[in-house]
Amino acid sequence: MLPLPLRSSALARAALLCFAMGLVAAGGRAAPFDVSHAGLTRVLAATVKNGQVDYAQLKAEPAGLVAYLDELARVERVVFNTWPVADRLAFLFNAYNAVTLKLIIDHHPVRSIKDIGSLFRGPWDQPVVRLFGQVLTLNTLEHGILRKEYQEPRLHVALVCAARGCPSLRAEAFVGSRLEEQLVDQMRGFLATSSKNRIDPAARTVHLSPIFKWYGGDFGSQPNAVLTALRPYWPDPAAAAASLDFTVRYTDYDWTLNDRSR
């Protein structure tokens, strides 16, 4: 992460502060963006428990989520590009998760996110992401921006696609100042969920979520790159150390909606 260059003059320092806080001049008026993502945290804290979402409540009271999405849509790419990498990643992670929540409540009740859309244009190909003056799809956000522009494979435990097979949705927004801590917590929590990921030393087998099969290349090109990348996050360090040459098998992915009412 490269810090913004320091400037000696008070004028330059003030200008940099405005950029860092996402202040966009528009018609003589400033549109501030809250880089703490407090608006999203309020929504998540009220509706998420143990990674499951109260979609019925969120659908009945969508104002906070809609307001947050409107804030995201007002941020200009030229301003976004001046932020530290951690702030940019937090912004994009939150955008993906918030848009996914909105997509679900717009179609709720549904049994699975995969029930949204059609055979030829599924949920991740819907034009629902208002970002940088465009309307994008969730696929474009994930694959065309996040995976293309950033070397951060842990994004796969940050993005939550509204399925029980996903990593758990946090009851707080991602924030740049705590992003490393939050990503470590996400990795550890996901690997500690034995129905999705576990090590069986007796059988010399590592059972992994299909996420690590679908996006294994993001963790490196070596044959055991995924196991090496996951090693620091397993709950049992001894088993993790021994697992690097174990056989890998993949668990079933549960596409059922992560709905608290189910």
Whether 84 contacts 121, CB under 8 Å:
no
Cα(141)–Cα(132) distance, rounded to whole angstroms? 11
Sign of the four-CA dihedral 196, 189, 261, 259:
negative
Per-residue pLDDT tens digits for 126-184: 999 999 999 999 999 999 999 999 999 999 999 999 999 999 999 999 999 999 999 99
Which two structure tokens, joined as six digits, stand for 66?
A: 């809609």
- Mean pLDDT, residues 50-74 taken together: 98
Cα(129)–Cα(181) distance, rounded to whole angstroms? 27
Domain ranges, ordered by start, for the chain? 35-250
pTM reported for the whole predicted model: 0.88
Per-residue pLDDT tens digits for 75-127: 999 999 999 999 999 999 999 999 999 999 999 999 999 999 998 999 999 99
Burial 149-187 (b: 16+ CB within 10 A, else e): eeebbbbbbbbbbbbbbbbbbbbbbbbbeebeebbeebb
